A and B are shown apart, each in its own frame.
Chain A
Amino acid sequence: DAGVIQSPRHEVTEMGQEVTLRCKPISGHDYLFWYRQTMMRGLELLIYFNNNVPIDDSGMPEDRFSAKVPNASFSTLKIQPSEPRDSAVYFCASSTLWVDEQFFGPGTRLTVL
Chain B
Amino acid sequence: KNEVEQSPQNLTAQEGEFITINCSYSVGISALHWLQQHPGGGIVSLFMLSSGKKKHGRLIATINIQEKHSSLHITASHPRDSAVYICAARGAGGGADGLTFGKGTHLIIQP
Question: Taking beta carbons and an 8 Å cutoff, which residues of A are in contact with B?
Answer: 33, 42-45, 48, 55-56, 58-59, 89, 91, 93, 98-104, 106-107, 109
Number of residues on chain B facing chain A (CB within 8 A): 24
Which residues of chain A have C-beta atoms less than 8 A from B44's C-beta?
104
Encode B19-56 as 1/0 by CB contact (under 8 A) with A.
00000000000110101000001111100101000000
A42-B86, A59-B98, A103-B45 known; 15 new pairs, CB 8 Å cut-off, are: A33-B99, A42-B102, A42-B104, A43-B88, A56-B96, A58-B96, A91-B43, A93-B43, A98-B94, A99-B30, A101-B33, A101-B48, A107-B41, A107-B42, A109-B41
A43:B95 contact, CB within 8 angstroms: no
Kindly state the separation between the CA atoms of A101 and B90 in the bound complex, as whole angstroms: 11
A56 (CB) vs chain B CBs: closest residue: B95
Which residues of chain A have C-beta atoms less than 8 A from B45's C-beta?
101-104
Kindly state the separation between the CA atoms of A100 and B90 in the bound complex, as whole angstroms: 10
Kindly state the separation between the CA atoms of A55 and B97 in the bound complex, as whole angstroms: 11
A89:B41 contact, CB within 8 angstroms: yes
Which of A58, A99, A100, A104 is in CB contact (< 8 Å) with B98?
Answer: A58
Which residues of chain B have C-beta atoms less than 8 A from A58's C-beta?
96, 98
Q: DSSP class of A's interface residues: helix, strand, loop or mixed?
A: strand
CB distance from A5 to the nearest CB of B (A): 13
A-B contact pairs, 17 of them (CB 8 A): A33-B99, A43-B86, A43-B101, A43-B104, A45-B100, A55-B94, A55-B95, A56-B96, A58-B96, A58-B98, A98-B94, A101-B48, A103-B45, A104-B42, A104-B45, A106-B42, A107-B41
B96:A45 contact, CB within 8 angstroms: no
Which residues of chain A have C-beta atoms less than 8 A from B100's C-beta?
45
Q: Would A104 and B30 be within 8 Å (CB), given that A43-B86, A55-B95, A56-B95 are in contact?
A: no
Chain A CB within 8 A of B78 CB? no
CB distance from B49 to the nearest CB of A (A): 11
Which residues of chain B have C-beta atoms less than 8 A from A43's C-beta?
86, 88, 101, 104
Q: Would A44 and B95 be within 8 Å (CB), given that A102-B33, A107-B42 are in contact?
A: no
Closest A-B pairs by Cβ, 10 of them:
A104-B43, A43-B101, A101-B45, A45-B98, A45-B99, A42-B103, A56-B95, A101-B48, A58-B96, A98-B94
